[in-house]
Amino acid sequence: MESPSPGGGYRNLPKGQTALIIAVAVVVGVAIAFPAYRIFILLSVGIGVVVAVILYLWHRFRPLKEENIHNKRPLGLG
């Protein structure tokens, strides 16, 4: 087992765009290799899109106001 780097993650794991490409490739590979997972993947993506649209519309029509934010400095910095 590797020891974590000071930043909390592992040093040799891909980050950013490379990790996203690898994740998409794994999902596509699983969907091709195991056809039964296609339904699960489609349902998961569909639910994610519906939740994202609901949250987007909620925050678009009900934005946060300054007086609604109670603890502006939760860590006590500044």
pLDDT band with cut points at 50, 70 and 90 for residue 48? very high
Residue spans per domain, the chain: 17-64
Give residue 67's Cα distance to chain centre.
29
Residue 67 has pLDDT above 90, yes or no: no
Question: What is the mean predicted confidence (pLDDT) over 26-37?
Answer: 90
pLDDT band with cut points at 50, 70 and 90 for residue 78? low
Longest dimension (CA), the chain: 54
Distance CA 11, CA 6 (A): 9
Question: What is the mean predicted confidence (pLDDT) over 7-22?
Answer: 77
Distance CA 68, CA 64 (A): 7
pLDDT band with cut points at 50, 70 and 90 for residue 8? low
Written as one letter, the residue type at 60 is R
Q: Which two tokens stand for residue 71?
A: 């603890």
Residue 1 has pLDDT above 70, yes or no: no
Question: Which position has the higher pLDDT, 24 or 15?
Answer: 24
Question: What is the mean predicted confidence (pLDDT) over 6-31?
Answer: 82
